[in-house]
């Protein structure tokens, strides 16, 4: 395997593979953050999470088309507008869904799974009816394309760096919201003891709605970022849902740090294995390992030990 490469090449391999792993890591974190909030904090299994992401992607596509035809001079900056719009659109849809559907099911987590699966089917067909069955391509502004030459053999893609920065920023903001802001404290209070939180004057319904909206909004941003590397079609969202859930569960559902750590572990494992075997087998092995570890340590990597 290594015989064909020189030492310098090998160094470059590991540098670039590491970077590929970091991009995958960012992607996983983006996908999983929203779900970690919804599933980890609220206990809702949102199978339509992928469809919220795709909504963000479609919003990005529409924004880019709009800028192309109406504001071509500002095209290079459209992506930031698109991300904000994606957040608003997915977040708003999320709040609507919470109001219409989820709030009736807080006591039946497995039923949220079924109901949101139904929702995902409806959303998929809605996308197909509105945007057509074909995939849409989002054109990136010039500055996001291409790569940066680090050394002779090592190049890093610019959109990869962008995704990583975006992930970092969103993670910081989410961590701040959940752990430092007053609102985050309310969310955690509601999670721990709904009745008590209500009794001390927290509007639990409002907290639920905004938490769900926030989770979906982050999914929207993730979808927006995905247009840079992946495809946008009515059923694209389904591809991500299992991976995303595994990342969250593997990390230990209630811990944001665990989610990030598990995204890192899984992405590095997968990208390293992909180098040595076929993509299919790498995927199978990664999933199998996660399942095996979850069987041994069902609470995930970073779960608190508490009296139940």
Partner 1 sequence: MLVGHQPKEFLLAVEGLTVSFDGFKAVNDLSFYVEENEIRVIIGPNGAGKTTVLDLICGKTKATSGSVQFRGKELTKLKENQIVQAGVGRKFQTPSVYDDLTVFENLEISYPRGRSVFGSLMFKRDAAVRERVEEVAEMIFLKDRLNMYADVLSHGQKQWLEIGMLLIQDPDLLMLDEPVAGMSVSERGKTAELLNTIIKNRSVLVIEHDMKFVEDIAHKVTVLHQGQILSEGTMEKVQNDPKVIEVYLGH
Partner 2 sequence: MSDEKKPGLHSPLRRKLLMGMAALPAMSLLPRTSFAQAPATSAINTTGLAVTDTEVTVGILHSVTGTMAISETGSVQAEKLAIDQINAMGGVLGRKIKFIQEDGASDWPTFAEKAKKLLVNDKVAAIMGCWTSASRKAVLPVMEQYNGMLYYPTFYEGLEQSKNVIYTGQEATQQILAGLDWVSKTKNGKSYYLIGSDYIWPRTSMKIARKHIEGKLGGKVAGEEYFPLGHTQFNSVINKIKLTKPDVIYAAVVGGSNVAFYKQLKAAGIDLSKQTMLTISVTEDEIDGIGGENIAGAYACMKYFQSLDNPNNKEFVAAFKKMWGEKTVIGDVTQAAYLGPWLWKMTVEKAGSFDIDKIAAASAGIEFTKAPEGYVKIHPNHHLWSKARVGQAQLDGQFKVVYETPELIEPDPFPKGYQ
Partner 3 sequence: MINSRFFNRSELIGFLSLLLLLAVILPFFLDTFRLNLVAKYLTYAFVALGLVMCWGYGGILSLGQGVFFGLGGYCMAMFLKLEASSVANTKIQSTPGIPDFMDWNQITALPMFWKPFHSLPLTIIAILLVPTLLAFIIGAAMFKRRVGGVYFAIITQAIAAIATILIIGQQGYTGGINGMTDLRTLNGWDIRTDHAKVILYFFEVFVLFACIITAQFIRLTKLGRILVAMREQEDRVRFSGYSVANFKIFAFCAAAMFASIGGAMFTLQIGFMSPSFVGIVPSIEMVIYTAVGGRMSIFGAVYGTLLVNYAKTMLSESFPELWLFGLGGLFIAVVLFFPSGLSGIWRDHVARHIDRLIAMRSEKSKRAWAIKSAADGAPAE
From partner 3, partner 2, partner 1, none, interface partner of 271 (C-beta below 5 to 8 A by class): partner 2
Largest CA distance in the chain: 69
Binders of partner 3 in range 38-57 (CB under 8 A): 43, 45
Which partner from the list partner 2, partner 3, partner 1, none does 298 bind, CB cut-off 5 to 8 Å by kind?
partner 3
104 binds partner 3 (CB under 8 A): yes
Rounded CA-CA distance 9/212 in Å is 47
**Residue whose CB is less far from partner 3, 62 or 294:** 294
Per-residue buried b or exposed e for 27-40, using 16+ beta carbons within 10 Å of the residue's own CB:
bbbbbbbbbbbbbb
Min dist CB 46 to partner 3, Å, is: 12
Q: Are 229 and 159 in contact (CB under 8 A)?
A: yes
Does 72 sit near partner 3 (CB under 8 A)? no
Span 255-284, contacts to partner 2 by CB under 8 A:
270-271, 274-275, 278-280, 283
Positive or negative: CA dihedral 168, 172, 178, 179: positive
CB atoms within 10 A of CB 71: 12
Residue 117 CB, nearest distance to partner 3 (Å)?
Answer: 6
Of 232 and 259, which has the nearer Cβ to partner 2?
A: 232
Among candidate residues 94, 27, 85, 78, the one with its CA nearest the CA of residue 56: 85
Which residue is listed with tokens 């197909």? 128
Are 223 and 55 in contact, with CB atoms under 8 Å apart?
A: yes
Contact between 304 and partner 1 per CB under 8 A = yes
Task: Assess 134 for contact with partner 1 (CB under 8 A).
Answer: no
DSSP summary character for residue 63: H
User: Three-state DSSP class for 148?
Assistant: strand
Piece of the chain touching partner 3 by CB under 8 A; list 5-13, 110-118, 171-179, 203-211: 110-118
Q: In 10 A of CB 130, how many CB atoms? A: 9
Q: Are the C-beta atoms of 277 and 301 separated by less than 8 Å? A: no
Binding site for partner 2 (CB under 8 A): 4-5, 9, 12-13, 16-17, 19-20, 23-24, 27, 125, 128-130, 132-139, 145-147, 149, 153, 155, 157-160, 228-236, 239, 270-271, 274-275, 278-280, 283
Chain residues that interact with partner 3, rule: CB under 8 A: 43, 45, 101, 104-105, 108-111, 113-115, 117-122, 124-126, 128-129, 238, 242, 245-246, 249, 278, 280-281, 283-284, 287-288, 290-291, 294-296, 298
């Amino acid at each position: 395997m290594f015989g064909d490469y020189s030492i310098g090449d090998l160094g470059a391999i590991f540098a670039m593979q590491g970077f590929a792993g970091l991009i995958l890591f960012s992607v996983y974190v983006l996908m999983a953050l929203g779900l970690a909030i919804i599933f980890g904090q609220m206990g809702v299994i949102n199978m339509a999470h992928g469809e919220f992401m795709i909504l963000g992607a479609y919003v990005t596509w529409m924004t880019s088309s709009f800028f192309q035809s109406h504001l071509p001079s500002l095209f290079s900056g459209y992506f930031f507008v698109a991300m904000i719009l994606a957040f608003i659109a997915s977040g708003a849809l999320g709040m609507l869904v919470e109001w219409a559907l989820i709030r009736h099911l807080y006591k039946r987590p497995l039923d949220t799974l079924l109901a949101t699966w139904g929702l995902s089917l409806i959303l998929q067909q809605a996308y197909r009816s509105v945007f057509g069955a074909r995939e849409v391509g989002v054109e990136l502004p010039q500055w996001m394309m291409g790569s940066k030459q680090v050394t002779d053999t090592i190049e890093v893609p610019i959109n990869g760096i962008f995704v990583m920065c975006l992930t970092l920023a969103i993670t910081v903001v989410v961590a701040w919201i959940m752990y430092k802001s007053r609102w985050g404290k309310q969310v955690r209070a509601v999670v721990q003891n709904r009745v008590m939180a209500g009794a001390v004057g927290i509007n639990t319904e409002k907290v639920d709605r905004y938490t769900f909206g926030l989770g979906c909004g982050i999914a929207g941003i993730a979808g927006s970022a995905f247009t840079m590397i992946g495809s946008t079609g009515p059923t694209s969202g389904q591809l991500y849902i299992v991976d995303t859930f595994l990342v969250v569960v593997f990390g230990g559902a209630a811990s944001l740090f665990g989610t990030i750590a598990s995204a890192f572990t899984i992405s590095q494992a997968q990208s390293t294995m992909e180098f040595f075997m076929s993509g299919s087998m790498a995927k199978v092995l990664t999933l199998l390992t996660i399942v095996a570890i979850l069987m041994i340590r069902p609470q995930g990597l970073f779960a608190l030990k508490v009296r139940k």
